[in-house]
Amino acid sequence: MKFEGQVLVISTSDPGGGGVIQSPELVEIEGRKFIRGTAVMLDNEGPKWTSGLRMWIAIDHITTITEVPSVDEYVRRCGLHKQREEAKYRPKFGAK
């Protein structure tokens, strides 16, 4: 299996699980399948301690995979999300 996106945003059924990885590949160890890749240094919440480390995520715990074409596109989209979130809390001048 080959992924089209250079970056995968993976959600899992485990609380706090998942991650954002680049250069993903499907690997198997002793009959168990994983997606392995290098952790991307930030997401919409900021830098992560896993930055640059190899991350393995068990396939049987994955609930959602979003493919992103590149790290630059991922960072751009996270920036847009952050701007939208910040805009919610800005005072609205002239509003009644």
Average pLDDT, whole number, for the chain?
81
Higher pLDDT, 27 or 86: 27
Higher pLDDT, 41 or 24: 24
pLDDT per residue as tens digits for the range 46-91? 557 788 899 999 999 899 999 999 988 888 888 766 655 555 555 6
pLDDT per residue as tens digits for the range 68-80? 999 888 888 887 6
Query: Closest Cα to residue 38, out of 74, 64, 14, 63?
Result: 74
Q: Which residues contact 57 (CB under 8 A, 6 or more apart)?
A: 10, 12, 17, 18, 19, 21, 34, 35, 36
In the predicted structure, residue 42 carries a pLDDT above the cut 70 = no
